[in-house]
Each structure stands twice: as C-alpha cells, then as structure tokens.
Amino acid sequence: MTVRKVCYITGTRADFGLMQSTLQRIQQSETLELSLIVTGMHLLPEYGLTVVQIEGAGLPVAARVAVEDGLPTGARMARNVGRMLIGFVEALEKIDPDIVLVLGDRGEMLAGALAAIHLDIPVVHIHGGERSGTVDEPVRHAISKLAHFHFVATDESKIRLVRMGEVADRISVVGAPGLDDLKDAALTGLEKLCAGAGFDPARPVALLVYHPVLQEAEISSDHAAHIVDAVLAKGFQIMALKPNSDAGSAGVRKVLEERALAGDIGLATHLPRPEFLSWLAACDVLVGNSSSGIIEAASFGTPVVNIGSRQNLRQRNANVIDCGVDRGGLDEALTLALAAVRFDRSNVYGDGRAGERIASLLAQIDLSQSSVAKTNVY
C-alpha cells in the first residue's frame, strides 16, 4: 500500500483549532502520513506557547520555524514571511512530503505555498475563494493562485475560484473543517463558566474577540476601547480573548489588559478549543471581528455583532449583525443581538463532515506531473 506524506503548516491557535480534528483524522488514516511545521504565534510565550497544545494532542511536529519577536507591525509581518519562507524550504527538504496542506489567508500559509511550489511539491489550499475586506483577501487569493488543489467551504467559493482561472476539477466543496468538532464537543455550561470567571450567570455575557486590521493598525487601540465601553454600557459582562500577532495588536492588548486589571472584564491569552467553544455556545453574543463569528457561531445559534471591515464581503449566516465602530451602530447591533436570543442553527459553511472528505481526497487526488502543472484556464 502506498502511503502519502502530508505536511500541514500551522502558525496560530486559530488555524490549529479549526484543523485539529481533521489533522487527527489524517493521522489515523492508513494511507496518509502526517507531519506538522509549527511557526509564528505557536512558539511565542506571550501568545500562550500553543505548540504545547499541538504536542499534547499527540500530533507529530516535524519542524519548528522561529519568527522575529517584538512589537507587531506591518514591516515585521513582512520580514517574518521571508524568515518563514527560508525556514519552510529547509524543513520541507528534510520532510520531503507528497503534499503541503495550508489553510486560509495568513502570511505563514503564503510562505508555505511559495516554498512548496518551488520545491515541486503539490499544494492543497483549504478555505480558498472567500472574500474579506482587508489585506487578508489578496493574501488568500495569492495562495489560491499558487495552490494546485482547492478544498473550499461553499459552492460560492468554488464559483469564485473558477472565475479566477482555477481548474474546476481540482476544486472540491468540503465544508469548513472548523465545524467538525462542534457536534461532539464536551461543552461547559454557562453557570460553571461564570463561576470560573467571577461573573453573575443571571446577567448577559459577551465573548469579545477583536483583532487589529492592518490598514487601521494606528487606531486599533482606540477601536478596542470604544467597543469595550459600548458593550459594558449595554450591561454585558465581557470575557475577552487577546488578539493575534498582527500589526496593531499591541495597542489592543494594552487596552484589554488595563480593563482587566481594573476589574471591568475577564481576559484570556488563549482559550483551549473546548473552552473557547463552551464560551461561544453559552454566551449571549459574540462581539468583534473573528472568523468564528462568521463560521462557527451559527452552529450554536449564537448572535454575532461583527464590527468593521475585517470580515467584509464574506458569506453570512442569519446570526451575523454587521456594524461599524461608531457608538450608534454598536448600540443598535447589541440591542438586536440581545433581542434575538438565539438563531436557527443552519450553517452555510457545511455539515460538520469536512475532515472525512479532506482525508479521503488527500488519499485520492492525482499527483502526477501533468496534474500538478499549474496554469490558468481563462
């Protein structure tokens, strides 16, 4: 039996959380051999040193690629793409995989696709074809143009990739892998969550996940402070999660840490996936601009107040209420979320079976030289 070597690149708690159940399914396959290259936030203590979580899950870390630490800026993000590219080339030469697997729209995934295509390794991209309103969209589409195969979440994403010149036969609609672990997740109830956070379970709870937008890095801290004030003014208790490592995150972190120190909010550097899902399922509203609000929250029926441009133009479920950072818009959106209580749990992003489809496709796709050759078809 021929076994295919699949190497997944991970750089954040977010992408790993979405992919963990799929990676475990790949690892359990008799026809696939899994390895991981770990980089970025996973290796930094200030972001929770989440490489420990990966190792704790029993997944094989084949290489660690360090990045430059320090104040997150656009320049440092760009330099780290270069550092990761060099590190990935060296790691992939040693691992010698048959497939490099990447997800989404971050710089580490772009560096991984660039490294793989120059080493003549087929690239499979998950969550291509989606839109957003920031630097994420051009990076996502750049990865798609480097990738040889596409595992997309929705039919709309497939149509968009075909319009971009990708071969329709190499695009498979699998759904969003982040939905796979929701149905069987061991969730902690609201009362226990509130007891651990020092909250009153009789009062409304907001889960706040707000990441900086590169083009708005200079004012991200002002936005964070404005959002916290608006949510508190509506009577919510706030459980906040610290932002990712993008430009502007230092200011957002500072605002959240100061408000936590003052006792205004609860704050976590990192929430393990089961705990994060528990808060997402139990809270009265998810506030911020996380993709979890666009994709996973609908499967719990949780109302989402989606703020600003970060998730602009992405496909929505009925539970998403969009608004700007202005106080009037925030107040109106939060009022609508409280009134909604819960939404229908239908989800445009799939049925929670993406992982089994991904593992099956990885074992079956044609990796012959003629198939891997990359050209546009328009």
Kindly report, residue by residue over 121-175, the tens digit of the pLDDT.
999 999 999 998 778 899 999 999 999 999 999 999 999 999 999 999 999 999 9
Q: What is the pLDDT of residue 132?
A: 84
Q: Tell me if residue 12 falls in helix, strand or coil.
A: coil
Is the pLDDT reported for residue 184 higher than 90?
no
Same domain flag for 146 and 253 = no
Same domain, 176 and 211: no
Task: Please report whether residue 346 resides in a domain.
Answer: no
204 and 332 share one domain: yes
3-state secondary structure 129-184: CCCCCCCHHHHHHHHHHHCCEEEECCHHHHHHHHHCCCCHHHEEECCCHHHCCCCC
Which residues are within 8 A (CB) of 121 and not within 5 positions of it... i.e. 6 or more apart? 92, 97, 98, 99, 100
Q: Is residue 263 part of a domain?
A: yes
CATH number at residue 297: 3.40.50.2000
Q: Does some domain include residue 91? A: yes
pLDDT tops 90 at residue 249? yes
Write down the pLDDT at residue 238. Answer: 98
Q: CA-to-CA distance for 134 and 264, rounded, in angstroms?
A: 30
Nearest in space to 98 (alpha carbons), one of 17, 26, 177, 167: 26
Mean pLDDT of the region 188-197: 96
The pLDDT score that the predictor gives to residue 8 is 98
Do 195 and 336 reside in the same domain of the chain?
Answer: yes
Question: CA 103, 107, 113, 119 torsion: positive or negative?
Answer: negative
pLDDT at 217: 86
What residues make up the domain containing 240? 190-340
Q: Given pLDDT bands bounded at 50, 70 and 90, which one contains residue 71?
A: confident
Q: Are residues 199 and 242 in the same domain?
A: yes
Same domain, 295 and 227: yes
Share of the chain above pLDDT 70, in %: 100
Q: Are residues 20 and 167 in the same domain?
A: yes
Q: What is the pTM of this model?
A: 0.92
Same domain assignment for residues 144 and 64 = yes
Which pLDDT value is given to residue 203?
Answer: 97
Q: Is residue 347 part of a domain?
A: no
* Confidence band for 72, pLDDT divided at 50, 70 and 90: confident
Domain count, the chain: 2
Residue 377 placed within a domain:
no
pLDDT of 344 strictly over 80: yes
Whether residue 361 is found in the same domain as residue 303: no
| Confidence at residue 375, expressed as pLDDT on a 0 to 100 scale | 86
- Is it the case that residue 1 has pLDDT exceeding 80? no
The HSE-up count of residue 108 (CA atoms within 13 Å, CB side) is 27
Contact 260, 280 (CB under 8 A): no
Residue 356 lies in a domain: yes
Statement to judge: residues 159 and 33 lie in one domain: yes
Does residue 378 form part of some domain? no
- Determine, yes or no, domain membership for 247: yes
Task: Please determine, for residue 370, whether its predicted confidence score (pLDDT) is greater than 90.
Answer: no
Q: Is the domain of 246 the same as that of 274?
A: yes
| Same domain (yes/no): 224, 174 | no
